[in-house]
Structure 1
């Protein structure tokens, strides 16, 4: 089983990705998902950590937190960055600088009381509680890079290489089920991004020689060979 055919380990992840019909907020991953609908019913409680300990978040800020949580719970790409010390976690997933900057801009007026959401809470019977006063994200983090590389400990890293970073949009998910299997695998371009994400990606497509592009081509070739074998098998199924 290759890395593209597995999910992160842990009770909230499936053993291997497969299509899911109803993923709600995480619909981006419905064609090939490492999560089932029941584990995304309440995304505001991320890994048993409530987001709103300083009050409700703005819809723009919450949207970015949901994207990050959907990626962790549902994306099969996440398994390519396993954490060596925490098996259910990721390490240094490369986020694009512009994604982090826009996440910061969306949340900078919202309030939080924890800088590192894995280590900075006081835990009690009702879960995570503040250890310090609530301040704005803009006060807690100096910029988008610091936000991305701190809020979930060492889970994410900022990359300035547009060929090797993620925007948590359709461009990260590989080919879609609607792509023709006869499409030229040497001319893969970025899938159309949903309108709400159009402001985020500075990429026109994945770059030649990019390992991410190589993985997409490999997946597309595997799918093409598999479909040809099935159609030519004469099995009658």
Structure 2
């Protein structure tokens, strides 16, 4: 089992190092994306609303953004969660948490990439969500309906908000997302991916957390930022991975 975990960590580090090598951003910790509603820099935001509240101490979103994140067809993106009938409340809660993480978290720096889009200059790619987060998201949405597997594109926006395109049939979520991994990776064009690591491991991002216990995503961002920064040096990726093997084994035995 320890060997499998070590192998997965090495593969993860190789992947994030490769991503880092392809992008010019140098700040990986405590940063905000250059996107539609984000602050330029993270700062305290005392009035964050409900499910966005864990980020009050240090946030990339404004209070008004957090309130809009809880509304149907809000001004943020004019996105209608109920495009195939009313979404189950438990399912919608995950999408609100997803929006709060995206808009508010200052701990996504290792996965930020530049993009050439009219509404943002940066996005996140392959953020490793803790396996419980993906699995619960999938379970709670199984009875809800949708008509697409990629929610980033392909909608009919003629009404001012997203509607199913012609020929797209509404089915239960599991028709378009047969597994938790499919849901996390496909729904937002690989913004996320399912991690085999659990909450509290320090190796995966939690979509939500209890702020009284601190922000666990800070440790996760530091881990990947260190790996990616070292991997950006000439021939650094291979050397980094080799040097990490003894340390990873110590972690697994501790």
- Taking structure 1 as the reference length, the TM-score comes to 0.69
Q: Given that residues 78 and 160 in structure 2 are in contact (C-alpha distance below 8 angstroms), is that contact kept between their aligned partners in structure 1?
A: no
Say yes or no: does 1:155 pair with 2:208. Answer: no
| Counterpart in the other structure of 2:208 | 169
Of residues 166, 176, 179, the one that matches 1:143 is: 179
Provide the rounded CA distance (Å) in 1 between the counterparts of 2:31 and 2:109: 7
Say yes or no: does 1:93 pair with 2:127. Answer: yes
Provide the rounded CA distance (Å) in 2 between the counterparts of 1:116 and 1:122: 13
Say yes or no: does 1:28 pair with 2:54. Answer: yes
Provide the rounded CA distance (Å) in 1 between the counterparts of 2:225 and 2:65: 30
Equivalent residues in 2 for 1:213-232, closer than 5 Å: none
Greater helix percent: which structure? 2
| Counterpart in the other structure of 1:6 | 31
Equivalent residues in 2 for 1:48-59, closer than 5 Å: 48-59=78-89
Say yes or no: does 1:70 pair with 2:75. Answer: no
Alignment size in residue pairs: 185
Note the C-alpha offset of 1:212: 5.8
| Counterpart in the other structure of 1:38 | 64
Q: Given that residues 128 and 193 in structure 2 are in contact (C-alpha distance below 8 angstroms), is that contact kept between their aligned partners in structure 1?
A: yes
Note the C-alpha offset of 1:145: 0.6
Q: Are the structure 2 counterparts of residues 68 and 14 from structure 1 closer, same or farther at C-alpha, using a change threshold of 3 Å?
A: same
Which whole-Å deviations, capped at 9, do the CAs of 1:69-118 have from their partners, x for residues lacking one? 10000000123311233533211111122211111000000011121001
Matched position secondary structure for 1:65:
helix
C-alpha RMSD of the superposition: 2.7
| Counterpart in the other structure of 1:79 | 109
Q: Given that residues 38 and 61 in structure 2 are in contact (C-alpha distance below 8 angstroms), is that contact kept between their aligned partners in structure 1?
A: yes
Provide the rounded CA distance (Å) in 1 between the counterparts of 2:46 and 2:186: 33
Unaligned runs of at least 5 residues, structure 1: 179-190, 194-200, 216-237
| Counterpart in the other structure of 1:218 | none
Note the C-alpha offset of 1:48: 3.1
Q: Given that residues 150 and 189 in structure 2 are in contact (C-alpha distance below 8 angstroms), is that contact kept between their aligned partners in structure 1?
A: yes
Matched position secondary structure for 2:35:
coil
Unaligned runs of at least 5 residues, structure 2: 1-25, 228-254
Provide the rounded CA distance (Å) in 2 between the counterparts of 1:141 and 1:11: 28
Query: Relative contact order: is structure 1 or structure 2 higher (C-alpha 8 Å, sep ≥ 6)?
Result: 2
